[in-house]
Amino acid sequence: LRGPGGREDPHAWPLLVYLLTCCIYPLASSCAHTFSTMSTRARHICYFFDYAALSMYSLGSALAYSAYIFPAEWVNSTFHRCYVPIAVFNTAISTSLSCYSRFLEVERPRFSKASRMLAFVYPYLFDSIPLFYRFYLCAVKSCTEAAILVHYKHTVLAFLTCFIFASHLPERLAPGHFDYIGHSHQVFHVCGIISTHFQMEAIMMDMAERHNRPLPPSLLPSSLQTLGSMGICVAVSLAVIGLCSMSLRFIPEP
């Protein structure tokens, strides 16, 4: 809010919302790990909020990408106009599918894990379509954009985060030796946070560059559009969490 133009600058709202989601998802994860030991029911509810926060982070990334990193030739295209509404829809699906996956853990653990991964990998891949296109352009034209190198670091770490989560390395190679230090879930969180750090740096570099070639006022995201999208996401996520919490009595005990 203290950046160029201050709080009246609509160009800053997507960054503000993105930064808020960057704070919310590690906080939700920390709370889930802290309080999930209280009871089986508490564990499920804590992770419902964790998954919803990750979905919100996905939407925050999409809002920032839409405002700052879209290729110039894609700006105001049909895909650009549909990008955020689709991201809102993906967020609702992501929260619903990831929360539902907890109901399958006992009877179908592999399908539960696959559903949970799909719930977060798909929104990430969709959000990254304009970024992947910029990677392609840079590979073809040998561009020298400083932000692209930072985006590369973020993307590599994001895929590494997904791989570690799915593979359960290194503890699957030496069961019992990484229960306290070096467990894959610890490495998963560290890689995820470092990936977010690089993503944040790259977005702010793109934002600064976009300020040098400002968009027409009609193409700037309004605070209503930005906050409205996030408000819909929060409302849907809370509704899904409430519904799933009431349905916990149907989950078979492990």
Q: Cα(54)–Cα(170) distance, rounded to whole angstroms?
A: 24
197 labeled part of a ligand binding site = no
Beta strands in 74-191 (DSSP E): none
Q: Does 170 sit behind a cis peptide bond, omega within 30 degrees of 0 on the bond before it?
A: yes
Cα separation, 19 vs 197, in Å, equals 11
Max intra-chain CA distance, the chain? 59
Q: Is 185 annotated as a binding residue?
A: yes
For residue 226, what are the CA distances in angstroms to 23, 36, 95, 200? 17, 32, 19, 18
Binding site as annotated, residues for Zn(2+): 33, 185, 189
Binding-site positions read 33, 185, 189
